Chain A
C-alpha cells in the first residue's frame, strides 16, 4: 500500500514535469503545480504510513536503471525527510503559480521545478549506491538549471558556477566514499554495505567518513564549504530558494546521518567531534553574517548556514554519545536535531517565500530600499513575522520548542562524563546562545527595516498586490511554524522512531539486521499532559499550549489596560533631532542597524569601507560630495577560495602551453606517445 502510494507520488511528479514541458503556456503552471502537489501529498502519506507503523517499505526494480536496477527503501528516518520535502515542495509549487503569473517563467523552469521536487522526495528513499547517486545528481542538476533560469543576470551566472563546482566536487567525494565502503561488501545496496562494514580496516573507514562528510557538508552548506549558498539562494527564483533552503540542505544532514550512523555504524568518537566542530563554526559564521547582511535573501541564506550549524551540533553530539555508549542520550540529541531540522524547513521556507513576494511586489530585495510594507502587503508581512518569530525561538512558535529540546539534550550530555564530549557540548551551548542573539538582531533588522516605518524608495511605496497563490503557498508553511510550536508533543513519537532508526545500527555487536532502538520513544515522557515536552526522569518540562494561552491572556489584558487607561493619548511626530525637513531616507537603515555588530565582529566579517570626501575649491570647510561605500564579502571565500581559483587558473595557463590548438602538435603528441609505448613494450 505504502509502496504503491510512494511510487504513485513519484509518477505524479514525473507527470508534472512532462506537463510543464508539453502544455501551452496558460495551462502549464497550474497543471504542473496540481500534479506536483499531488505527488507531494502521496509521498507524504506513504511516509506517514511508514512512520506510524515503523515498518520499512522496500521496492526493487531491475528494469529502470540498466545494470544496477533501482532499489528504494523508505524507513522512518527517510520518511521524516520525505515529509519535510513534500510539505515544502507542495508549498513551493503552489507559490510558483503566482510567482510566474506575469509570464516570466520559461517552459524549462515549469518542467524543472516538478523534477527538482520529485528528486527531493526520491533521495531519502534511495537504498543503493547507484540509485542514491542518480537521485542525488538529478537533484543537483535540476536545481542548477533552475538557478540558471536567471541567466541574463551576471550574479546568477556566477552563483551557478560556484554551485556547480561545489556540488559536483561534493558528489565526487560522496561517490568515492560509498565505493570505498562498497568495495568490501558483496552488493551495492545499503543493507549489504551496512552488513559488511565490520570488514573494512579502521583507517579506510575513517577516510570514507571524512570524504562523505565533506561531500554532504558541502550540500548542507556547512562552513567552510558554504560559499555557494549565500550566492545561489538569493539568485535563484524564490520557490527554488525555499526548496533549496527548506529541503535540499536537509539532505546533506540526511547523508551524514545515513552514512555515519547507518552505513558506517557509528564509527569513532573523533568523527562526531569534527561534525560538532563544523556545526559550531557554521552556527557562528552564519549568525554573524546574517546579522550584518542588508540583502533580504542573502540574510536568509546566511541564517540557513547558522541553522544547519545548530543541527550539525545536535547530530555531532548524538554521534559522539552513541560512540561512547550513551544510547539514550544519543537518541535524545538526535530527536532534538531532527526536530530543529523540520522546524527550520518550515520557517525558512516560509521566510524565503515571503521574501520572494516582497521582491516581486517592490522590485528589490535590498532592505535599505524597502520599508513600510506592513501596510502595503499585510498578509505577506504577517507571514514573514510568523517565520521571523519562529526562527528567533520565541514561544509559542516552533523554533522555541526545538531549541529548548536541543539545549536540554546538550545539558544532559554532561552526564556522559567524557571530556571531549563535554567540551563539544559546552561549545554547542555557547554557540546556540550567541546565535540566538545574532538571529534576533538579524530578524529585528529584516522585519523592522523592511516592513515597518515608511517606504524609502518610490518602488517600495508602489508595492502592490501579491498574487493569492503566493500568499497561500507561504501560509502553508506558516501553519507548521505555529502548530509544531503549540503542540510539539504530537510529533515526538514520530521523531523518536526516526531517531531510533538513525541510531539503530550504531549498536556495538555482531553485524546483522539492526536492532530497533525501542527505548528512544520512552525518552520523552507521557504525552498525556497537553502534548507538551517532558524529558523522562527529570522535572524539565515545557507546555507550549499553556504558554500560548497565558501569552494570549497577557496580550488581551495589556490591550484592555491600554484602552482603559489611555485617556487623552497625544500623537506627536517622529523625533528627528528637531530638523525642519524630514524624509523617509532619514530612517534607520539596515546598514546602520548592522553597523555596531559589523564593528564588533570586524575580525570575522572584514568589512570593506570607503569614505571619500571632496571639498569645495573655495573653502575646505564645505564639502562638495561625500561618498560612502561599504561591503562585506565572505571572508572564507576571499581567504580560501580566491587563492584556490587563482592557483587553478595558473595551472590552466601552464596546461594551455601544451595545448596550443595546432593540429600538428596534437598529431605529434600521438606519435610521441606511440613511440614511447613501443619503446616500453619492446
Chain B
C-alpha cells in the first residue's frame, strides 16, 4: 500500500512505468482513394481569423496523445517548406493578403485543408463586419474537416487521408 502511494506521487516514476499515452487510431474506414502525398505531407498553418478553438485542437492533434506526425503529417514554419496550407477560421479583411500570398508561395502541386466550420463557410462569425469570406473564395479546399471545433481525432484522420498511412 505504502509503496504504491509513493509510486503514484512520484510522477517521474509513474511515467517511467506507465503504458504509452498515445491513442490507438484505426485506419479510417471507407473507400481509401489514392493518397495525394503518399508517406508524408508538410503543412503550413494559417490562422485567417479563427477564435483559436481550432488551434487548440490542432495543437492536441500534434501532441503526444493523437500524435499526427506518426502518420507523416507535419506542420512547418514556412510555405516554402510546405506541400499545402492548413487554414482555420473565417477570412478576415486583414488576413486576405497574407492568405493569398501564402497560398501563392506554396510550390505546386499543392493541397488546401480547411479546418473547422468557419473555414468551410459556416460558423458563428460569417456575418461579422470584418469578415471578407471563407477559404473557398481564394482556393477550393481539397480536404474539409467540419466541426466547431473539429476534435483532434477528426483532424488526424483527415490528414491520414492525405498521406495514406
> Bound pair: A and B?
yes
Contacts from A to B (Cβ < 8 Å): 570, 572-573, 575-580
Complex: A116 Cα to B112 Cα, angstroms: 67
Q: Are A570 and B108 closer than 8 Å at their CB atoms? A: yes
Whether A575 and B108, one on each chain, are in contact in the complex, defined by CB atoms closer than 8 angstroms, is: no
B105 near A575 with CB under 8 A, answer yes
Interface residues of B in 39-87 (CB under 8 A from A): 78-80
Beyond A573-B101, A575-B79, 12 extra complex contacts between A and B, CB < 8 Å: A572-B105, A573-B104, A573-B105, A575-B78, A575-B80, A577-B98, A578-B97, A578-B98, A578-B99, A578-B102, A579-B98, A580-B97
Residues B101 and A578 in contact, CB atoms below 8 Å apart:
yes
How far apart sit A42 and B105, CA to CA, in the bound complex (Å)? 60
A579 — which chain B residues lie within 8 A by C-beta? 98
Residues of B near A575 (CB, < 8 A) are 78-80, 101, 105
Smallest Cβ distance from B14 to chain A, in angstroms?
A: 37
Number of interface residues of B (CB under 8 A): 11
Which residue, of A573, A575, A576, A578, has the highest number of chain B Cβ atoms within 10 A? A578
Residues of B within 8 A of A577 (CB): 98
Chain B residues at the A interface, C-beta cutoff of 8 Å = 78-80, 97-99, 101-102, 104-105, 108
Q: Please, how many angstroms separate the alpha-carbon atoms of A572 and B102 in the complex?
A: 11
Q: Which of B79, B105, B108 has the most CB of A within 10 A?
A: B105
Task: Give every chain A residue within 8 A of B80 (Cβ-Cβ).
Answer: 575
Secondary structure type dominating chain A contacts:
loop
Most buried by A among B98, B101, B104, B108: B101
A-B pair count, CB < 8 Å, reads: 20
Measured CA separation A506–B78 after assembly (Å): 61
Chain A residues within an 8 Å CB radius of B79: 575
Nearest chain A residue, comparing its CB with the CB of B79:
A575
User: How far is the CB of B109 from the nearest CB of chain A, in Å?
Assistant: 11
B80 to chain A, nearest CB (A): 5
Chain A: minimal CB distance from B24 (Å): 38
Query: Which residues on A sit within 8 Å (CB–CB) of B105?
Result: 572-573, 575
CB-based nearest A residue for B78: A575
* A and B contact pairs by CB, cutoff 8 A, 6 listed: A570-B108, A573-B101, A573-B105, A575-B78, A575-B105, A580-B97
CB distance from A103 to the nearest CB of B (A): 49
Chain A residues lying within 8 Å of B108, measured Cβ to Cβ, are 570
Q: What residues of B have a CB within 8 angstroms of the CB of A578 in the complex?
A: 97-99, 101-102
CA distance A575 to B101 in the complex (A): 8
B102 CB contacts on chain A under 8 angstroms: 578
- Distance of A570 Cα from B108 Cα, bound (Å): 9
Select from chain A the residue with minimum beta-carbon distance to B108: A570
A380 CB to nearest chain B CB (Å):
30
Assess whether B104 is in contact with A572, with CB atoms less than 8 Å apart.
yes
The 5 nearest A-B residue pairs measured at CB? A578-B98, A578-B101, A575-B105, A580-B97, A575-B80
**A245 CA to B104 CA in the complex, in Å?**
48
Minimum CB–CB distance for B96 against chain A, Å: 10
**Whole-angstrom distance between the Cβ of B124 and the nearest chain A Cβ:** 26
**Which residues of B have CB within 8 Å of A580?**
97
| A573 CA / B101 CA spacing, docked (Å) | 9
A580 and B102 CA atoms in complex are apart in Å by: 12
Instruction: Give the complex CA separation of A595 and B73 in angstroms.
Output: 32
Report the separation of the CA atoms of residues A577 and B46 in the bound assembly, to the nearest whole angstrom: 11
How far is it, in angstroms, between the C-alpha of A173 and the C-alpha of B158 when the chains are bound?
A: 77
Q: How far does the Cβ of B156 sit from chain A's closest Cβ, in whole Å?
A: 27
| CA gap between A274 and B162 in the complex, in Å | 63
B98 CB, min distance to chain A CBs, angstroms: 3
Chain B residues within an 8 Å CB radius of A573: 101, 104-105
Query: In this complex, what residue of A is CB-closest to B101?
Result: A578
A230 CB to nearest B CB, Å: 36
Please name the residue on chain B nearest to A582 by beta carbon.
B101
How far is B81's CA from A575's CA once the two chains are assembled, in angstroms?
Answer: 11
Q: How far is the CA of A579 from the CA of B80 in the complex (A)?
A: 15
Complex Cα distance A580/B95, Å?
Answer: 10
CA distance A153 to B80 in the complex (A): 46
Q: Across the interface, which residues of B come within 8 angstroms of A576, CB to CB?
A: 101
Which residues of the other chain, A, contact B78 by a CB distance below 8 angstroms?
575
**Bound CA–CA A577/B78 (angstroms):** 8
Q: Name the distance in Å between B15's Cβ and chain A's nearest Cβ.
A: 33
Contacts of B99 in A (CB 8 A): 578
Bound complex: CA A462 to CA B147 (Å): 56
CB closest chain-A residue, reference B46? A578
Residues of A near B97 (CB, < 8 A) are 578, 580
Give bound CA distance, A577 to B80, whole Å: 10
**Least Cβ distance of B95 to chain A in Å?**
9
